Amino acid sequence: MSSADVIGGNDDIIMEILLHLPAKSLIKFKLVSRKWLNLISDPNFVLRHYRQSPKTVSAIILSCFMPLDFEAPQTYMYVSLDENQNQNSIQSRADFFSFDPSAPGSIMISQSCNGLLLCYSENYGLPTGTYYIFNPVTNKFSIIPEPICHGNSMINYFSLAYEPTISPFYQVVCLQFYNSSCESLVYSSETETWKDSKNQELEFFSADFHDGVYWNGGIHWLLTSDGTSFRFDIQQETILKVPMPRPPLAENWNPHNLRHFMECQGHLFLIDFDCPEYVIYEMENDRSKWLVKHRLDINLIVTAFPDRLDINLIRNRGNSCNSVLELEKLISPVSLVEVENEGPSLVMYIPGRFISYGFKDNTFKTIGEAKFYESRLGKWYHTFNYMETLSYV
């Protein structure tokens, strides 16, 4: 018997090999045989694959806001961080949400959480749209049933909580605001039902509850004008106030300078612009304080890419803060990612190009060219870190 036959007949060896392959490859290998299909589809294999796979961001999905055409379907751009893929021209992904059974092209992303996307489509005239949980790797989706509306609900906000190292099931939290109070409802994919949580006194304008970020057992919303943030604790099923500690945030910190608030590979970050620097803060695991992790002077970006950014604008105005602010309008920090063997990198968009800056070796790298409007005409108003997963929806 050949060594290939020995390996092919040993399920344990096959499983160990498959566990080291990326999720997209495993989807293709399901077609090899019924045996491989059953093995890769097994929930225990899916869980082991997630736990064993490196928790690296494989791509960034960007929502493009083009103010000149409000009636056009939402456009998304898929920026792969895989160096083995051809990145010479990063295209928009019109086919990314082809799963929409009712109105192709109308799906919008609300949140990305450990490989799953919370998406929705508008149901005009109704208090809520249709919400989906979508896994782009498997191209599978589930429709979240509409929650029961308590009272005359003014507005509903939905957020996704998913931590496959703890449970293969996800939860969707719905906040219903009415009459200066907030009703929390929690949907579980395990029971496929909604349950009421807690009614609390809370105004819907207390924070921007559109942009929930799941991290460390809770969904976080940032920021209010007085520096307070909110957290929905998954175990307690209640909304808690999280005071924004100062310092280490600058005493004159202005929430309007916030460029991004995100979870990345088990860490919670915010990116602030404090002229002339981008300052990256990380929240302590016990949520007690923010720590300054990285700084990047905008002048370094301008010097590295003079063909894309007008370096003379700084030179002629003597590095004044006003000239730096003009240049900063052309730069969009996209995300902070941890690159294997390279450490943390800040991904940015400058006119016509995606670039990254590695804080470990202090070097810039071009990710790819982007066929998109100059940033004066269009802005990334939402970015979503994405990692591949076999997880069920």
Tell me the three state secondary structure of residue 51.
helix
Tokens coding 349: 């968009």
Contact 377, 68 (CB under 8 A): yes
> 47 lies in a domain?
yes
> 2 lies in a domain?
yes
19 vs 15: CA distance, rounded Å = 6
pLDDT for res 89: 47
The structural domain count of the chain equals: 1
> 41 lies in a domain?
yes
> 274 lies in a domain?
no
pLDDT for res 376: 41
Backbone conformation region of residue 312, classed left if phi is above 0, alpha if psi is from -120 to 50, else beta: alpha
CA 16 vs CA 10, 36, 312: distances in Å = 10, 13, 56
> 159 lies in a domain?
no
> 11 lies in a domain?
yes
Strands (E), 114-264: 116-121, 130-135, 140-144, 155-161, 171-178, 181-188, 193-201, 213-215, 218-221, 228-233, 238-243, 258-264
> 237 lies in a domain?
no
pLDDT for res 150: 64
Angle formed by the axes of helices 34-41 and 43-52, nearest 10°? 60
Per-residue pLDDT of the chain (393 residues; tens, 9 = 90+): 455 555 556 677 888 888 888 888 888 888 888 888 888 888 888 888 888 777 788 888 887 765 455 555 667 788 888 766 655 445 555 455 555 555 555 678 889 999 999 998 876 555 567 899 999 888 889 999 988 776 665 678 899 999 988 888 999 999 888 777 788 899 999 999 998 777 777 766 666 787 889 999 999 987 666 567 888 999 888 888 876 655 556 566 666 777 888 888 888 898 888 888 899 988 888 877 788 899 999 989 988 998 878 666 555 555 567 777 777 778 888 889 887 777 899 999 888 889 999 999 999 999 888 765 544 444 556 788 888 888 888
Tell me the three state secondary structure of residue 16.
helix
Q: Shortest CA distance to 172 belongs to which of 119, 230, 245?
A: 119
Tokens coding 341: 């063997």
Q: Which residues contact 194 (CB under 8 A, 6 or more apart)?
A: 145, 147, 148, 174, 185, 186, 187
Tokens coding 240: 């808690």
pLDDT for res 381: 60
pLDDT for res 375: 41
Residue 41 structural domain: 1-53
Residue spans of alpha helices (H) in the chain: 3-8, 11-18, 23-29, 34-41, 43-52, 298-304, 311-316, 321-328
> 4 lies in a domain?
yes
